[in-house]
Amino acid sequence: MIMPKRLLSLDILRGITVAGMILVNNGYNQSFEMLQHSKWNGLTPCDLVFPFFLFIMGVTTYLSLSKSGFKKSPPVIWKVIRRTLLLFSIGLAINWLDHAIEGDLLCFGHLRVWAVLQRIALCYGIVSIFALTINHRWIVPTIIALLVAYTIILLWGNGYSEDESNILARIDRSLFGYEHLYHKSPVDPEGLLGTIPSVAHVLVGFYCGRLIKQREAVADKVLALFFLGATLSLSSYLLSYGLPLNKRIWSPSYVMVTCGMAASLLALLMTIIDIHGQRRWATVFHVFGINPLFLYVASEVFAILFSAWGVSETVYEAIHSVVIHPQSASLCYALSFVAFNFLLGYILYRLHLYIKL
């Protein structure tokens, strides 16, 4: 059986991930523990959404660049550079809007440098340039080298300490200054050094894209992804005894377990959707999956505006007057916000508009 030209299952996984990112970022007041990021070591469902997105980005980067045979022509390289700069700039603009909406227009002296889109931008740019310039037989050795090097940095630099002695915090403070960093914890969860394992993370997705592209039969693709997913998950479990799972520092064990789970989920969705044709249930996620970055950016902008204008508080209080339990009310608010962004995406979906960032 030959794989369809476009993998619907990949769009659906991306849609599930983006919807999940919007959901966990927009709980109001008191959220359920499973919808909060782990405080330090550990793993919650909330900790899966961002790494899943990076994994998917790796897969789609391989599939996209393979169309041109990975030729490093000036137009292709310029496209990569332009997209990297665009995503990074949008991330900075969102950080600026968070201050500007409160009247702090000239906040450049304390504007946060890093955030989700900035990390996405750097990882996309680095992996794309790697894909265009380095022989792909070096993918796995590069992943291993990056994770080993990062492990050494963590062990040598007090990388598991939840205080300002952590090397990730020290590097960010020395390069960017305290005012330009995340202030809710000593370690900026999207800081500079964490880009090292994140690039390895995207390269794992890139490798999975290669597995998908090189195999003809759908069953072979599914089997390869399941095997890789199981191997990574088991390896991360063993590694976590010395290097605990930790999203904030993007630990090597965290890279492996989240990539393993993402690969396994993609294989499962390929089985359900691309082999057995069970697709109707997935329309909601397809809407999020075809305009993923645009809808994520829109959700961040609307979240800032709704908070500043009092819309969030008004909607939450209306929900809370009916749903007394605070965590349940918070979840209902988050779901209503996801639904709002779905409506925006659905309009684009019906108009066949695809906004690529």
195-198 — which CB contacts under 8 Å span 24+ positions?
195/119, 195/122, 195/123, 195/126, 196/146, 196/149, 196/150, 196/153, 197/146, 197/147, 197/150, 197/250, 197/251, 197/252, 197/254, 197/255, 198/54, 198/119, 198/122, 198/123, 198/250, 198/255
Reply yes or no on whether the pLDDT at 234 is more than 90: yes
CA–CA separation, 45 and 162 (whole Å): 21
- pLDDT tens digits along 26-48: 999 888 888 899 999 999 999 99
Query: Can you tell me the distance from the alpha carbon of 166 to that of 174, in angstroms, rounded to the nearest whole number?
Result: 12
Res 2: pLDDT: 37
- Residue with tokens 């918070």, as numbered in its chain: 330
Asked whether residue 133 falls in the same domain as residue 258, the answer is yes
Better-predicted residue by pLDDT, 65 or 33: 65
Average pLDDT over residues 94-102: 95
Greater pLDDT, 183 or 96: 96
Token pair for residue 35?
A: 């919808």
pLDDT tens-digit series, residues 66-78: 998 999 999 999 9
Instruction: Name the residue with higher pLDDT: 5 or 307.
Output: 307
Task: Determine contact, residues 167/159, Cβ cutoff 8 Å.
Answer: yes
Residues 17 and 83 in one domain: no
Predicted confidence at residue 197, as pLDDT, reads 98
Kindly state the DSSP code that residue 111 receives in the 8-state scheme: -
Q: Residue 75 corresponds to which tokens in the numbers above?
A: 């137009």
The verdict on residue 41 lying in a domain is no
pLDDT at position 116 over 70: yes
Average pLDDT, the chain: 94
Whether residue 104 is found in the same domain as residue 151: yes
Residues 2 and 31 in one domain: yes
Identify the pLDDT of residue 216: 85
d(C-alpha 331, C-alpha 261), whole Å = 24
Burial of 91 (0-12, 13-18, 19+ CB in 10 A): buried
DSSP 245: -
How many domains does one find in the chain? 2
The answer to whether residue 202 is domain-embedded is yes
For the segment 235-250, what is each residue's pLDDT rounded down to a tens digit?
Answer: 999 999 999 999 999 9
Report the phi/psi class of residue 187: left, alpha or beta, with left for phi > 0 and alpha for psi in -120 to 50. beta
CB 325 within 8 A of CB 308: no
The domain of 94 spans 50-278
261 neighbors 231 (Cβ within 8 angstroms): no
**Helix, coil or strand: residue 322:** coil
Q: What percent of the chain has pLDDT over 90?
A: 89
Q: pLDDT for 78-92, tens place per residue? A: 999 999 999 999 999
Give the separation between CA 273 and CA 271, rounded to whole angstroms: 6
Kindly state whether residue 45 falls inside one of the protein's structural domains.
no
> Do residues 144 and 271 both lie within one domain?
yes
**What Å distances lie between residue 188 and 100, 180, 321, CA to CA?**
22, 10, 36
Q: Which band of pLDDT confidence, cut at 50, 70 and 90, is reported for residue 3?
A: very low
Residue in 234, 192, 227 with CA at minimum distance from that of residue 207: 227
Amino acid 117 reads L
Domain stops at, among 241, 256, 278: 278
Domain-embedded: residue 43: no
User: Do 110 and 21 belong together in one domain?
Assistant: no
In-domain check, residue 42 = no
Q: Over range 180-184, report the average pLDDT.
A: 90
* 109 pLDDT more than 70: yes
Residues 93 and 236 in one domain: yes
pTM for the predicted model, two decimal places: 0.95
> What is the distance between the alpha carbons of residues 319 and 336, in angstroms, rounded to a whole number?
10
Tell me: do 268 and 295 sit in the same domain: no
Exposed, middle or buried by CB within 10 Å (0-12, 13-18, 19+), for 268?
middle
Choose one of 278, 307, 328: the last residue of a domain: 278
Q: Is 115 in the same domain as 66?
A: yes
Question: Cα(167)–Cα(161) distance, rounded to whole angstroms?
Answer: 9
259: nearest Cα among 211, 293, 307, 190: 211
pLDDT band at 223, cuts 50/70/90? very high
pLDDT at 141: 97
Strand partners, 246: 41
Give the confidence band of 6 by pLDDT, cuts at 50, 70, 90: low
User: In Å, how far are 41, 53, 200, 265, 354 from 254, measured between CA atoms?
Assistant: 10, 14, 11, 16, 32
Q: Are residues 202 and 259 in the same domain?
A: yes
